Amino acid sequence: MAEIIREQAVISTELDGERLDQAAAQLFPAYSRSRLQTWIKRGELVMDGKTCRPRDKVRSGAALQLVAELEDEVNWQAQDIELDVIYEDDSILVLNKPAGLVVHPAAGHADGTLVNALLNRVPAMAQLPRAGIVHRLDMETSGLMVAAKNLPAHHSLVAQLQERSVKRQYCAVCIGAMTGGGTIDAPMGRHPRQRKKMAVVTGGKPAITHYRIKQRFGHHTRVAVNLETGRTHQIRVHMAHRKYPLIGDPVYGGRPRIPKGASDELIEALRGFRRQALHAEALGLVHPSTGETMHFDCPLPEDMAALLDVLEREDPAHVSDRAY
């Protein structure tokens, strides 16, 4: 028997004037935009009790009511893909995602994803929205993720993410020698010209990133980053906006910057690191069933650890960062 879901939300001032389907995607992040559009067209997702079209504009203070049957969204296939599971019980599964693994099947990645691997390990997750995944990491970002194994756990984790109570810390290695940590409070949205990219834009959605220096090199800096919001590519965009892009970032970092007088080892390390130097190293949440506060840590992957080793030897902190 299909699960009947009942949810409601109120349009905030931030979403005033947005399309209904776009606003619903923000307020009900557990469900895909295409699924929400279907529910809107069927009259299962209404605004102030009235059936609307996906493109209709919403207004601040309007109430959205969702009563719908939760059916399988797609026919994702289980695949035997090895997972590095950090913790698992009847409610949640915490794993260390390797760089290069796509989270959800999509155009260009029909299979071989984290979803396919999870369905092989826990077939019942096929009945959950997005196969139990409540947040995501970019394909080339490594580190900790949590997934729900049943619907109550899914609702709990989604609520914690919406309330910003899930603690997420990342390790990032940036180009440039920072003088101190700080907070980046800069709204984000689609790049005005390059639509596959995100950018800091006027009128974008709120995006807040906190960072502190963990290790300073001559021309690079290792930072610990904590997210207050979870926009697409947020860390990558925000650090590039501050003129400290991540080493290896093919989208926001540009070509590798080689310091003057760099050794062959340093040149090889910088040019050879072909993904953004970003790893989700810590995760904190409240267990959906027990209410226990849980914290997980994950060591750096081999490629980032090797990169830091080279920076320690070949890019000492006493070298001026004006030597490019």
- Positions annotated as catalytic residues are 138
Q: Distances in Å between the alpha carbon of 298 and those of 91, 114, 142, 225?
A: 20, 18, 10, 15
Q: Distances in Å between the alpha carbon of 201 and those of 85, 144, 148, 207, 239?
A: 37, 29, 33, 11, 14
Q: How many CB atoms lie within 10 A of CB 317?
A: 15
- What b/e sequence results for 222-250 when a residue is b if at least 16 CB atoms lie within 10 Å of its CB, and e otherwise? bbbbbbeeebebbbbbbbbbbebbbbbbe
In the block, residue with structure tokens 């400290």: 244
> Residue 56: is it exposed, middle or buried by C-beta count within 10 angstroms (0-12/13-18/19+)?
middle
Closest Cα to residue 98, out of 138, 146, 135? 138
Distinct helix (H) and strand (E) counts, the chain? 7, 14
Backbone angle region of 140, left / alpha / beta, with phi > 0 → left and psi within -120 to 50 → alpha: alpha
DSSP states along 14-57:
GGTT-BHHHHHHHH-TTS-HHHHHHHHHHTSEEETTB---TTPB
